[in-house]
Structure 1
Amino acid sequence: MDAVTRLAPYFDLQLRFAARLAEVGGPPLGEAVTWYTNLHRRFGLGMARRDQPASALWRRLLDGLGEAPDHAARLAWTLECFAAAPPEQPPPGQHRFGCFACDAPDGSGVLKLHFSNADGDDVSPLAEARRARRRAELTAMFAFVAANHPDAASVRGTSWLYHLEAYRRLYPPGYAASRRPPDRPLHFHGSSSWGQFLDHRGAIKPAARDRMLANLPALDPLRLREAFPLPALLVTAPIDEFLRYYGVR
């Protein structure tokens, strides 16, 4: 299945979300698509940034969305633009180890974790059969952090994935047990919330999609996180817990 066909239901859901957000007092449709969906990244344009001008491709997409008479036309236009888009690229500056990646520590020593399926086969990256591989990737990552980022003080993650025991079991128990609602506004233009609607093959999860669609009539622009079946959770722990857990220190 080609990417346009495979991702059409995913884009359909995100366009419906953006349109509903605009209807209930959120930003205009173009801004909603830019900042509250992950289409910008899926279009191979990286994470949208407010300090950079929009690309010609993105301006073309938004212009067409503004002129489209209905949802069907908006989806068709989005798929047409996507067919001409460059391949999706990993965010710059991340250190990648298999399915995991981390940013360099910020000014407070906080290391942010990321996860995506890099296996490229028909087995879930969180399957029990892949647990040892994931553990090895995390061990390599934290060995790299210990050697190259002595300023790292803590680890922070924000994702829907922390609802899953198969994901939490990969990390130190204290980190997994710290999960709670985020203490700051969420970004909705990545995969920390939108990733839950795709399976490990990159196809839509019908049950998750249907739950999200059922939540849209009551969408509250001040409580967007609650519209998602698995709202993103925040987890944190000191870096030393990770270094001990993976035998790095």
Structure 2
Amino acid sequence: MPPEGLDASPLAAAAVDAGQHDLRAMFQHIRSPHPEAWRAVGVYWLYNLRGYTRLFPKAFVELIQPVSGPLRLAGSSTWGQVLDWRQQVEPAVREELLCRLVGMDVPAPSRVFPLQSQVATCDAGFP
């Protein structure tokens, strides 16, 4: 749930500095107890959104690729694209998802989502 008093999306242009700060803090948190970590891999549908990718260095964004193989939906953030930053259902995304269910490939149900997950890999020394 969004924190109390949040007036705009965390991916808004005005939030870029805070988002980049949070990413640096996250990587420092990972490196501190795990200095042996040499690579970070992210699989996320948000890599489709400019508001998200602008938080990362250009070299990182250039390496983002489609996921190969099936994507598990249990515990996945993939469902998050159906909600806005206030945790309200996005009507257009809901409608597109419902329309796409008709042709769903049962072995690959994640393919019905409008925004497909992407994979990004970077040096754990990021950023």
2:121 is paired with a residue whose SS is: strand
* Higher gyration radius (CA): 1
1:219 is aligned, of 104, 112, 119, to 104
Q: How far did 1:198 drift?
A: 0.4
User: Hey, what's the Cα distance between the residues in 1 that align with 2:9 and 2:61?
Assistant: 20
Q: How far did 1:138 drift?
A: 1.5
Aligned equivalent of 2:115? 230
Which deviations, in whole Å up to 9, do the C-alpha atoms of 1:92-119 show, x marking residues without a partner?
A: xxxxxxxxxxxxxxxxxxxxxxxxx654
User: Hey, what's the Cα distance between the residues in 1 that align with 2:120 and 2:90?
Assistant: 25
The answer to whether the Cα contact below 8 Å between 2:2 and 2:86 also exists between their aligned partners in 1 is: no
The answer to whether the Cα contact below 8 Å between 2:44 and 2:118 also exists between their aligned partners in 1 is: yes
Figure out how many residues of one structure are paired with residues of the other and give that number: 126
Q: How far did 1:239 drift?
A: 1.6
1:198 is aligned, of 78, 83, 86, to 83
Identical aligned residues as a percent: 36
TM-score normalised to the size of structure 1? Answer: 0.47
User: Hey, what's the Cα distance between the residues in 2 that align with 1:216 and 1:141?
Assistant: 36
The answer to whether the Cα contact below 8 Å between 2:31 and 2:124 also exists between their aligned partners in 1 is: no
After the TM superposition, which residues 105-124 of structure 1 pair with which residues of structure 2 at under 5 Å, given as runs? Answer: 119-120=3-4, 121-124=6-9
After the TM superposition, which residues 1-249 of structure 1 pair with which residues of structure 2 at under 5 Å, given as runs? Answer: 119-120=3-4, 121-240=6-125, 242=126, 245=127
The answer to whether the Cα contact below 8 Å between 2:38 and 2:124 also exists between their aligned partners in 1 is: yes
CA RMSD of aligned residues (A): 1.7
The answer to whether the Cα contact below 8 Å between 1:168 and 1:176 also exists between their aligned partners in 2 is: yes
2:56 is paired with a residue whose SS is: coil
In proportion to residue count, which structure has more helix? 1
Q: How far did 1:180 drift?
A: 1.8
TM-score normalised to the size of structure 2? Answer: 0.87
Greater relative CO (CA pairs within 8 A, separation 6+): 2
User: Hey, what's the Cα distance between the residues in 1 that align with 2:83 and 2:10?
Assistant: 13
In structure 2, do the counterparts of structure 1 residues 144 and 223 end up closer, same or farther at CA, with 3 Å as the change threshold? Answer: closer
Structure 1 unaligned regions, length at least 5 = 1-116
User: Hey, what's the Cα distance between the residues in 1 that align with 2:58 and 2:31?
Assistant: 20
Structure 2 unaligned regions, length at least 5 = none
The answer to whether the Cα contact below 8 Å between 1:124 and 1:200 also exists between their aligned partners in 2 is: yes
1:148 is paired with a residue whose SS is: coil
Which 4+ stretches in 1 moved above 4 angstroms?
A: none
